[in-house]
Amino acid sequence: MSFWEVVLLLVIASLAGGLGQAISGFSAGGCILSIVIGFIGALIGNWLARELGLPDFFVIKIDEIEFPVLWSIIGAALFTAVVGLLAPRRID
């Protein structure tokens, strides 16, 4: 996998993580955290889709790696919603 393929994969993961955070309404950090949330969302979304027997929609294939964008966004939204529910509230 080349350098530009890794960069492209990171950009897609950050967009999926950012959209997941926007859907759930909870944002805990910046770009690096969005990338991490995008990859965690991909794991959660893929697992959930397999368990429910759902097909893959909007999969981007980079070299040999397939990145399920739709399931990543859904998984990231679920993950950040759970984190938002468990995080302590700030009182200003």
Distances (CA, A) of 12 to 15, 45, 51, 78, 84: 5, 15, 24, 18, 23
pTM of the model: 0.81
User: Does residue 9 sit within a domain?
Assistant: no
What range defines the domain where residue 57 resides?
30-82
User: Does residue 63 sit within a domain?
Assistant: yes
pLDDT tens sequence across 36-77: 888 888 888 888 988 999 888 888 887 787 778 888 888 888
User: Does residue 65 sit within a domain?
Assistant: yes
Q: Looking at the predicted structure, is the pLDDT value of residue 2 above 70?
A: yes
Structural domain count, the chain: 1
User: Does residue 66 sit within a domain?
Assistant: yes
User: Does residue 52 sit within a domain?
Assistant: yes
Mean pLDDT of the chain: 83
User: Does residue 48 sit within a domain?
Assistant: yes
Residue 51 has what pLDDT?
92
